[in-house]
Amino acid sequence: MADATKARRRKAYRRGHHGETLASLALMLKGYRILARRYRTKLGEIDLIARRGDLILIVEVKARRSLVEAMEAIALESERRIEGAADLWLARQPDYGRLSVRFDMVAILPWRWPVHVENIFQGRS
C-alpha cells in the first residue's frame, strides 16, 4: 500500500475518532451515558451506543461540511448494517424487554458544536 494511501487512512481514522469523542461529549452533556464506542459485530459497526433511563441510542457519527451532507451520508445499506449490529447488541442485554431503541445521528460540522439529530431513520418494527 502506498504511503499516501496509508497517510490518508490514518488521517480519516483520527478524524473519525475525534468526531466520536466530540459526539460522546455532546451526548453526555444531554444526560446520556456512553455504553460503547465503535461496537463491532459480524454485521457491522455502531459508532456510539448511549443510554438514558430505558432509552438506548444507536448513534451514527458523520463529519461533513454541512448538516445536509451528513444526513445524506447515511444510505439505506448503512441503515440495514446498523440495525443488524444493534439487534445483536440488544439481544445480549438482560433488560432487553423494557428498552426503547432510537437511531440517531450526530453531525460533526466545521467550527460548530455537534448537532444531534434524533430518529435519523426508523428501525424495523
* H-type alpha helices, the chain: 3-29, 67-72, 76-91
Residue 125 in this model has a pLDDT that exceeds 50: no
pLDDT for 11: 80
Residue 79 in this model has a pLDDT that exceeds 60: yes
Residue 28 in this model has a pLDDT that exceeds 90: yes
Say how many CA atoms lie within 13 Å of 123 toward its Cβ.
19
Give the number of other CB atoms < 10 A from CB of residue 17.
Answer: 12
- 107 Cβ contact list (under 8 Å, min separation 6): 62, 63, 64, 67, 70, 71, 114, 115, 117
Q: Which domains does the chain have, with CATH numbers?
A: 3-121 (3.40.1350.10)
Give the C-alpha separation, 106 to 30, whole Å: 13
Greatest pairwise CA separation for the chain in angstroms: 50
